């Protein structure tokens, strides 16, 4: 019995696929299908690179970590229990890649996850760089504590709900809420300071080059 034709649902760009295509790709990749995995890679490549670059504040390091992430994802895929949870799982692997790198390299101090309701000192050293507008945003992100930055980026960049972030990071939803709130307040404060610097620098454009001297 013929049915009416369904409309084609073609997708050329990553991210606009229907969720069930994603499930199919993940299910196939789990069984070792390299073509499906390659499509998953293409779908998340840009997003994971952006997430990691902003999380560690360095594009090149973000690239290295993205490579690590996709390799780890391929290796761990057979253990993925629920295809529907692929995206949070992918971000969890990316986050862990960044955390272990930062711990290894001591580039940034990564404190253990703790109850965000407890007091945590705001470490926002005064910026000394001469900065532009998007640089101010990047720099403000950099000055957030890693936990706050992770939660904020997962919320804004990853598009995850607080419940998803909580699952992904294995912390309580309440802590996520607190980290996000604190992140936003830290961001406001740092950005305000940076913008203040910028205005100050605009008045005296040659005096605040990093490491430089006034000409």
Partner 1 sequence: MNIPMFSTATPCAQWAHLLAAQPGDLSPDQRAALDDHLATCATCATIRAEYRAMDSSIRALPAPQPLPALPPALLRLWEDEDQQRSKLRERATTATAAATVEPPLPVSLHSNGPRPLTRRHRVGAIFGSLVATLLIGALLGGYFLLVAGHRPAAKSTAPYGPVVDPAGPRPHLGAWRTIILPSGVPDRAAQLAMPGALGGQPTGGATIFQQPAVSGLLYLVAPPIETTPLRIWRSQDAGATWQPLPLPSSISALPSGASAYLYMSAGDPDTVFMWAYAVSPQRVELRLYSSDRGAHWSTFALPSGSDTWNVAAPSAAHGVWYLPVSVASQPAIWISTDHGAHWSAHAYPVTLPTHTIGQPATPSGIFLDLTYARGGLLWAYQHTLWWTPDYGAHWQALGAWGEQPCDALIQGTPDLAALYCMFSNGQQSWQSGTSLSSVALWRSTDHGRTWQPIPAGPDVTPSADDTHAYSYVTSKSVLRDGSLLTLASSRENAAQVAFYTLAPGANVWHEASAPLTPSQGYCAAPQGDLSTPGANGSSYPPAPPECAQPLDITVTSAPNGAQYIYLTHEPYNQITTPTYVAAITWK
Contact positions toward partner 1, by CB under 8 A?
1-12, 17-18, 20-21, 24-25, 28, 31, 33-36, 38-39, 41, 45-46, 49-50, 53-54, 59, 62-63, 66-68, 70-71, 74, 133-134, 136-138, 141, 152-153, 155-157, 161-163, 177-178, 180-181, 183-185, 187-189, 191-192, 195
Tell me whether residue 39 or residue 168 sits nearer to partner 1 (CB atom): 39
Nearest distance in Å: CB 214, partner 1: 27
| Residue in 58, 27, 72, 60 with CA at minimum distance from that of residue 142 | 58
CB of 170 to partner 1, least distance (A): 18
Q: Which is nearer to partner 1, 5 or 214 (CB)?
A: 5
Two tokens, residue 56? 């560690």
CA-based nearest residue to 198, from 139, 132, 126, 140: 132
Q: Closest approach of Cβ 206 to partner 1, in Å?
A: 24
Instruction: Count CB-CB contacts under 10 A for residue 60.
Output: 9
Give the phi and the psi of residue 22 in degrees, each rounded to 5.
Answer: -60, -45
Smaller CB separation from partner 1, 9 or 206: 9
d(CA 52, CA 47): 9
Cα–Cα distances (Å) from 28 to 40, 42, 147, in that order, read 10, 15, 34
Contact 160, 168 (CB under 8 A): yes
Q: How far is the CB of 123 from partner 1 (least distance, A)?
A: 19
Write the CB contacts of 63 (distance below 8 Å, at least 6 apart in sequence): 49, 52, 53
Q: Which residue lies nearer to partner 1 by CB, 85 or 142? A: 142
Tell me the closest approach of the beta carbon of residue 5 to partner 1, in angstroms: 5
Q: Which is nearer to partner 1, 181 or 209 (CB)?
A: 181
């Amino acid at each position: 019995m013929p049915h009416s034709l369904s409309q084609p649902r073609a997708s050329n760009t990553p991210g606009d696929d229907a969720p069930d295509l994603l499930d199919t790709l993940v299910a196939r990749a789990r069984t070792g299908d390299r073509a499906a995995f390659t499509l998953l890679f293409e779908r998340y490549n840009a997003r994971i690179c952006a997430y990691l670059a902003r999380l560690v504040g360095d594009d090149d390091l973000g690239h290295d970590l993205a490579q690590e992430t996709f390799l780890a994802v391929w290796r761990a895929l057979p253990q993925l229990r629920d295809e529907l949870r692929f995206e949070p799982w992918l971000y969890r692997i990316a986050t862990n890649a960044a955390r272990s790198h930062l711990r290894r390299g001591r580039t940034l101090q990564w404190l253990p996850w703790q109850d965000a309701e407890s007091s945590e000192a705001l470490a926002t050293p005064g910026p000394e760089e001469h900065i532009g507008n998007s640089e101010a945003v990047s720099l403000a992100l950099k000055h957030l504590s890693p936990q706050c930055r992770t939660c904020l980026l997962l919320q804004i960049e990853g598009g995850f709900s607080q419940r998803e972030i909580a699952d992904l990071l294995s912390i309580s939803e309440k802590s996520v809420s607190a980290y996000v709130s604190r992140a936003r307040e830290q961001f406001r404060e740092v950005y305000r300071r940076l913008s203040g610097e910028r205005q100050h620098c605009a008045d005296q454009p040659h005096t605040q080059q990093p490491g430089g001297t006034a000409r």
